[in-house]
Amino acid sequence: MSSQNIMVREFADIRQASRTAVKYIIDIAGAAVADKGFCTIVLAGGTTPKLTYELLSLPANAAQINWQQCHLFWGDERWVTAEHPDSNYFMAVRALLSKIPIPPQNIHRISTEYKDPATGAAMYEKHLHHFFHRAGRTSGNSPAENNTLPRFDLILLGMGTDGHTASLFPRSPLLGEKRKWVASVPGGTGSPPVPRITLTLPVFNQADNVLFLIAGQRKRALLHAIQARPKEAAELYPAARIKPAGNLAWLVAARP
């Protein structure tokens, strides 16, 4: 499936790009709640989205989202405890979740409390099945089709300077995954090099909206390479394989 709409917007710095990301999140959440009564947003990890989360938590912005109807998920998680400084969940807690009136049951973190990452991945997939299908939140498909991929309203993503996104790294066998929604990733790659849990390409590519937020000249040059030579880039950079059913937007800050 290829994206219907691709938008790239360039900004001088991360503050400007983050302000636009906040607007994007507010608009999509509002439209989804108006349309079907709830919205589903997948948060990105890493450091780049931290300012977006902080800006979103400011009262004037936070008041524009119906948090009661907003469900938050994660695109990937590092295999560390929930209060570890490297936890993607914990970053979001500090920057956003601790400051907004979101019901705890609307926070769908990737738990790292299972015996191993493979079990953690299977349990998160089970949780997604439950949320979207058993609880009747299947969108765009018949609720009877219990295996249809979840269709998130908005997925936020970052990109590494090697072209990875979420925990999908270059040359990973996971790039060919067709069946699993969530998978474990062995340690040794990425920073920190701990094992990870990630959503898979079929799930990312089913989304209604994907928003990449990237900063710095190396990532900017990488995006330009992806745009100029998409076929070659798809072989080299996992981020180039993100082609959602809906809209794809890149917010690019020249300076972090």
The footprint of ligand 6PG (CB under 6 A) covers 44-48, 76, 78, 88, 158-160, 164-166, 190
Of 167, 157, 139, 140, the residue nearest 249 (C-alpha)? 157
Looking at beta carbons only, is 17 or 100 nearer to ligand 6PG?
A: 17
> Which DSSP letter does residue 98 get?
G
Identify the helix (H) or strand (E) that includes residue 156: strand 154-157
Shortest distance (Å) from residue 66 CB to ligand 6PG = 26
Looking at beta carbons only, is 88 or 206 nearer to ligand 6PG?
A: 88
Tell me how far apart the terminal alpha carbons of the chain are, to the nearest angstrom.
32
At 208 the three-state DSSP class reads: coil
Shortest distance (Å) from residue 143 CB to ligand 6PG = 31
Q: What is the CA radius of gyration of the chain?
A: 17
Looking at beta carbons only, is 87 or 138 nearer to ligand 6PG?
A: 87
Shortest distance (Å) from residue 103 CB to ligand 6PG = 25
Of 8, 25, 54, the residue nearest 253 (C-alpha)? 8
Identify the helix (H) or strand (E) that includes residue 30: helix 14-36
Looking at beta carbons only, is 160 or 244 nearer to ligand 6PG?
A: 160
Looking at beta carbons only, is 78 or 151 nearer to ligand 6PG?
A: 78
Of 25, 9, 89, 18, the residue nearest 256 (C-alpha)? 18
For residues 199 and 42, is the Cβ–Cβ distance under 8 A?
yes
Look up tokens 């990973």; give the residue: 172
